[in-house]
Every structure is written in structure tokens, then in C-alpha cells.
Chains A and B, each alone.
Chain A
Amino acid sequence: MSETLLQSPLNQTHRDLGAKMGEFGGWEMPLEYKGVIEEHQTVRNRAGLFDISHMGQIKVEGEKSFNFLQYMTTNDLSKINDNQIQYTLMCNPEGGVVDDLLVYRLGQNQYQLVVNAVNTKKDYGWLKDHLVQGCRITDQSSLVGKLAFQGPLSQEVLQSLTDCNLEDIGFFRFEDKVDIAGEPVLVSRTGYTGEDGFEIYSEGSIKRIWNAILKKGKNKGVQPVGLGARNTLRFEACLSLYGHEIDENRNPLAAGLGRFVVLKKQDFIGKEALQEINDSDLSEVLVGLEMKDRGIPRRGYKIFKNDQKIGEITSGSYAPTLDKNLGLGYVQSEFREVGTVLEIEIRKRRLQAEIVNTPFYNRGN
């Protein structure tokens, strides 16, 4: 590899655990330890610990922060208060997605953005290009270690390491300066797996927290989980992955993310284009597909109906929890209806698949 990869503070820890390492978004990260399927099931049935230190983190501060972010993002930032989190998007003037991100409101004039690793530099540049007086941004990505602890047993295990009542942290809320295993951290009830769980941000020793959680959780079956299972988990829950379901040439409305685009708020980048898209019929929409024939859909495979190409797969995989071969892909809107049978071209053969409801996996179902 020509460029040097960034390393998480836990790099050696992963190697010691026998992880297969790989590149993701410019970082060298663990892809799997024991195997993707086992790790996937660990998160669905017990709890799994992920190193997500590759995620980008940008701080936005100053008296104009709110106005600035309101202009840069598609969701309505006025809907959240301190200690709340919002899923939102940054779009370009054409309505294409620059990135999807979480905004943590630390205070009226202080926010933390958590962005995709692959986009951190681009996002920072994009924000900097539009920066206004009374607002400053800092890329803290490499200063902060980040963990995700996900699964039905995550609260119980994490609770045994802190005096903070985790029950009080609701979905998409956070607490700062929580003591976990002796480290002051920010804890949020967020995740990318379709399970209940937490994300933990630490400027101190993330290794201490990592080890403490694995030790406490050992007899409950808690295991480290790599990015391989992180992908199959998010895929089953139909959570968009940047570069797959969304990118600069795809708009959030076609991706089914319309509820995070608030067209009635004041001006924001992409508003005009998105308003226009919203007022007319979408040409393509993202749908979920289940294979009827034997085969696994993969990114880039073409979708056909009546011998006409009508779309393309953006993500596809064997889904371990559901034991099915599933795909997400864009199709021309007229073919979007659930129950429609389409064909996916896999190694020069056209195989049947059916449009199904999304998300594929819903916790509690």
C-alpha cells in the first residue's frame, strides 16, 4: 500500500486478539476476529464490542454554530436540545449527499459531528469552505478513541462499570464526563447495528475501557466484533452506508431518508434542488430485494425487468440473522412496489429476486 494507514490506539490489541486487519477509510482496522457470522450473532443475541476509532469527529463551536450547522445540514437542528443527538445529512447544491452524520449538541454553541471515516477530510474541507465569522471547527478525529458496544446485554454489562444510571440515557441521547472503568467518557445510546447499544468517546485510555468491558462481559458471551460484522448488521437493519446507498450523485429522498430532510426550515445547502426533486416524481428509489433463485446479490450487479436494465445493487450479502440472500439497490420508481419480481444479473445469468419490505431486520420482531 502506497500511503500509510492511520492506526487506532487499539491496533496492537486487535493483533494480539488474532484479528484479520484491513483497510477502511484510510485506517487499518480489524475486519474479523473469530468469524463474521459468529460475531454478527454475538451482537444480535448478547453484546459485541467494536473499535470505531476510525470514525471522524469534528467539533463546531462559537456563537454562530447553530446557524452554521442549520445551513450546512438537511435536518432541523432546532428539534434537539443539549445532550441530544440528531441523524442528519450534508448535501451539495444539487441535492447529492456529501455525507451522513450524527450531530451531538453539547451546548447551544457547541456541537460534535461524527462523520464517516472515508469522508472526514472532505467534510472538514466542506465545512471550512462555508465557515462564517463567530464559528470555528476542529478535526478531533485522531484525538478521540471511539468504541461501540452493541446488543441486548450491552446495558447490563456497561452498567456494572459505571455509577451513571444508563437507563436515564434515552435513544439518541448522551451523557458527558461519565466515569467508566475510571475514565471520563462521553456515552451515547446510538449505534449502527439495529440493536440497543452505546457508543463511547474517550480522549483518555480507550484500551482500559476496552479491556474492562471484555473482562466484565466475558461470562455473558461478550466478544470483540470487527468491521465485517458491522457491515452485515447495518445491512440487515437497512442503515445506509456512504459510498453504497448514498453518495454525491444520490439524493436522500431517493435513498428513503426523506424524514431527515426538513424542507420547511430556512435556507440550507441543497434545499432548492431537494425541493424540486420532492415536487416531482423520483426517477429511482432504493428498495430491498430477496433472492428467489440461488445467488447472492453484490454491489454493482445490474437489475432487470422485462429485459430492460432498471437499476443496480448498492449492497448485498448473505444475511446471517435471517438466513437469506438479500440486497439493497436502486430501481426505476415504477417498479418499486413490494412483491415485484425482478431479475439480478449474477455472473451473466439473470436470477429472480423479489422486492420486500425494509428494514430486513427489526429488533423485537
Chain B
Amino acid sequence: MEVKEDLYYSRNHEWVKTDDDRAYIGITDEAQDQLGDIVFVELPQKGDRFNQSEEIGVVESVKAVSEVYTPVSGTVVDINEELLDSPELLNDQPYESWIISLELTDDSELDNLLSAAEYKSYCEGAQ
């Protein structure tokens, strides 16, 4: 399982990458591995506002439906429409395939998230 440095992680297996006041959100390698072949993605709309831990969309594998929650609050600036036709990108490149980008409401929320090292041991503990 790959964990990338310099990202923030949630216990629900999402990652957050920050770029000034922008946050990109995706699902981790562990998440895609647990799900198996991903065949469907449901995205929110630009302009939607979400609070921390709210559901922003759904990822479905052949077998399972899995909700995606945002680890930080914000307003949706962009959605990755490429995933609608190619949901398998979430399997192939989980850390390149952001799902949405948000304009952060409160960057102090990032302090509640896990570092790469913390997330790694969190996953290992759950095994």
C-alpha cells in the first residue's frame, strides 16, 4: 500500500492536498484496494458548499457502494469530470486522481487530519 508524503489523510481513507487556500480531495491507495475495480463515480456540482465530514459523492466498485466524505469544509471550485468516463483512474492512480477541489473555509481543520506516517500506522493497526 502506497502512502504519499505531504498529503493530509482522514480516517475514512480520503487524502487532502493543499495549494494555498485550495484543497484537492481524493481517495487513498488503501481505499481503492479495499474497494476493488471502481466502475462508477458520482460528483457534486461546482459551487456546492460542504462542512467537514459531509458526503461529497459516491464511488462504486463492481461489488460495493462507498460514500466519499470531505475531510475539510469548503466550496467546490472544480470537479474531476474525467472520472465520470474513466472511474478506473481511481484504481490506477489514486493520488493523481483528485475527485473535487475546494476553496477552504477554515484551514485550521487540517490540524485534525493525519500525517502520512500517522495514516500509515492507522492502516496497519486496522489490518
Q: Which residues of A contact B (CB under 8 A)?
A: 20, 31-32, 35-38, 228, 231-232, 294-296, 298, 317-318, 320, 325, 347
Contacts and interface: CB of A to CB of B under 8 A. Distances in A.
A232 B40 contact: no
Contacts of A325: 40
B78 interface: no
A43 B42 CA distance: 30
A317 B58 contact: no
B63 A36 contact: yes
A40 to B, nearest CB: 8
Contact of B36 (A36, A294, A317, A347): A36
B37 A296 contact: no
A36 B37 contact: yes
Contacts of A20: 36
Given A37-B37, A318-B39, A325-B40, A228 B60 contact: no
B39 A35 contact: no
A296 B63 contact: no
A228 B39 contact: no
B60 A296 contact: yes
Contacts of A298: 65
Contacts of B84: 294
5 contacts: A36-B61, A231-B63, A294-B42, A298-B65, A318-B39
Interface of B: 36-37, 39-40, 42, 58, 60-63, 65, 84
Contacts of A295: 40
B36 A296 contact: no
Nearest to A298: B65
A318 B62 contact: yes
Contacts of B63: 31, 36, 228, 231, 317
B62 A36 contact: yes
A35 B88 CA distance: 12
Contact of A347 (B37, B39, B58, B62): B58
Given A37-B62, A298-B65, A228 B36 contact: yes
Contacts of B65: 296, 298
3 residue pairs, one from A and one from B, having the closest CB atoms: A318-B39, A36-B62, A37-B37
Contacts of A317: 62-63
Given A36-B36, A37-B37, A232 B62 contact: yes
B33 to A, nearest CB: 9
B16 to A, nearest CB: 24
B52 to A, nearest CB: 21
Nearest to B63: A228
